[in-house]
């Protein structure tokens, strides 16, 4: 089997690698449906996302994947079908594909995604774990002897995984992703500024102001509804004001990491000091995250320029190498 495409369906973004053509699609995993009409959706991907907060009447924005589980099968089938056509498979049935799944994904969850791909006319699917693919995408060589750790901070969840070339030694995923940080920011802004903001505004604040430097005075303007008057109001907010929420979020992830590391044998943990910790996913944009995690774990944490798309780049390497894919694909 030699896959023609690799697909990474995340809570926030879907990415596609096409054989011999590199990464060909990175778009929000969302779709706009008008009057419950799934057959002819109103908008897809980035076009659907741009409608948030300004949808026409009877148009619903749907995120079909939540916390790495499918919550709307029909919407996901329609979205993936569109994305596949967009990357130049207009009428073709795709017989071979690679799908990235989260570390420790159970057979029931994998089957749901497999059924969605079949609905989009994608057949004969094989699977690889996201953290394994991400490490390959960062350009790191997997070793049989020296383990490495990956902390993948996704939109729906965070995965912590310790692995070697032989496979995953220990790992876990938790529903603590960027969407949770958005909720924490909303709560914090309400508490500090008496201002109710939308999920979209929280996403903007997270992108512009998330920092692990408590003295960071980077500022942005946010609008929302005044808690007392109920009227729309504009306020200025600084990175230092949402620092407690960002710190609490990262500390939750460090707690999970600590549990995974404590399950390792002492020799493996000692070798991990050499292998290091690699940070991938959208959460790597948090200012100061490398130093904060390095200091907390006493292990060097590394962020690369293309950390957000490392998994799909790595999936491309698996697609192009039958030998590597055979070694690292999941047996399900």
184-235 pLDDT per residue, tens: 999 999 998 999 999 889 999 999 999 999 999 999 999 999 998 989 999 9
Average pLDDT over residues 70-88: 92
Among 176, 173, 126, smallest CA distance to 1 is for: 126
Give the pLDDT confidence of 232-264 residue by residue, as tens digits: 999 999 999 999 999 999 999 999 999 999 999
Mean pLDDT of the chain: 89
Biggest alpha carbon–alpha carbon distance for the chain: 64
CATH topology of domain 140-303: Nucleotidyltransferase; domain 5 (3.30.420)
Give the pLDDT confidence of 142-189 residue by residue, as tens digits: 778 888 899 999 888 898 999 887 778 888 888 888 889 999 999 999
pLDDT at 90 over 60: no
Question: What is the pTM assigned to this prediction?
Answer: 0.85
**HEC profile of the chain:** CCCCEEEEECCCEEEEEECCCEEEEEEECCEEEECCCCCCCCEEHHHHHCCCCCCCCCEEEECCEECCEECCHHHHHHHHHHHHHHCCCCCCCECCEEEEECCCCCHHHHHHHHHHHHHCCECCEEEEEHHHHHHHHCCCCCCCCCCEEEEEECCCCEEEEEEECCEEEEEEEECCCHHHHHHHHHHHHHHHHCEECCHHHHHHHHHHHCECCCCCCCEEEEEEEECCCCCEEEEEEEHHHHHHHHHHHHHHHHHHHHHHHHCCCHHHHHHHHHHCEEEECHHHHCECHHHHHHHHHCCCEEECCCHHHHHHHHHHHHHHCHHHHHHHCCCC
Q: How far apart are CA 115 and CA 122, in angstroms?
A: 9
Q: Which residue's structure tokens are 């350009």? A: 139
Tell me the percentage of the chain whose pLDDT exceeds 90.
56
- The CA radius of gyration of the chain, in Å to the nearest whole number, is 20
Segments making up each domain of the chain, as ranges? 5-132+311-328, 140-303
| pLDDT for the residue 103 | 79
pLDDT at 88 over 80: no
Tell me the percentage of the chain whose pLDDT exceeds 70.
98
| pLDDT for the residue 154 | 86
How buried is residue 305: exposed, middle or buried, by Cβ count under 10 Å (0-12/13-18/19+)?
exposed
Q: Which residue's structure tokens are 């004969």? A: 124
Same fold? 5-132+311-328, 140-303: yes
Q: Structure tokens of 62?
A: 């749907």
Q: How far apart are CA 59 and CA 61, in angstroms?
A: 7
Among 147, 137, 139, smallest CA distance to 168 is for: 147
Query: Which class would CATH give 5-132+311-328?
Result: alpha beta
């Amino acid at each position: 089997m030699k896959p023609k495409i690799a697909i990474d369906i995340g809570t926030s973004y879907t990415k596609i690698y096409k054989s011999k053509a590199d990464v060909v699609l990175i778009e929000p995993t969302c779709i706009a449906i008008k009057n419950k009409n799934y057959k002819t959706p109103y908008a897809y991907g980035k076009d659907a996302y741009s409608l948030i907060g300004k949808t026409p009447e009877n148009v619903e924005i749907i995120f079909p994947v939540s916390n790495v589980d499918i919550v709307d099968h029909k919407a996901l089938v329609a979205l993936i079908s569109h994305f596949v056509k967009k990357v130049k498979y207009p009428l073709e049935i795709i017989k071979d594909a690679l799908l990235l799944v989260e570390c420790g994904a159970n057979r029931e969850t994998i089957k749901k995604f497999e059924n969605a791909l079949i609905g989009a006319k994608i057949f004969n699917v094989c699977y690889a774990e996201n953290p394994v693919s991400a490490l390959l995408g960062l350009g790191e060589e997997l070793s049989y002897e020296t383990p490495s750790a990956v902390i993948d901070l996704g939109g729906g969840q965070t995965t912590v995984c310790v692995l070697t070339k032989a496979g995953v030694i220990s790992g876990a995923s938790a529903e603590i992703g960027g969407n949770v940080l958005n909720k924490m920011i909303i709560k914090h802004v309400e508490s500090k500024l008496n201002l109710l903001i939308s999920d979209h505004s929280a996403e903007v604040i997270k992108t512009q102001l998330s920092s692990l430097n408590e003295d960071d005075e980077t500022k942005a303007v946010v609008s929302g509804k005044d808690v007392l008057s109920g009227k729309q109001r504009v306020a200025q907010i600084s990175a230092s004001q949402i620092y407690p929420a960002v710190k609490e979020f990262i500390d939750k992830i460090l707690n999970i990491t600590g549990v995974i590391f404590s399950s390792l044998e002492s020799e493996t943990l000692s070798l991990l000091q050499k292998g290091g910790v690699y940070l991938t996913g959208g959460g790597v944009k948090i200012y100061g995250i490398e130093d904060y995690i390095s200091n907390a774990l006493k292990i060097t944490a590394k962020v690369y320029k293309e950390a957000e798309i490392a998994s799909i780049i790595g999936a491309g390497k698996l697609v192009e190498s039958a030998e590597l894919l055979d070694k690292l694909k999941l047996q399900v």
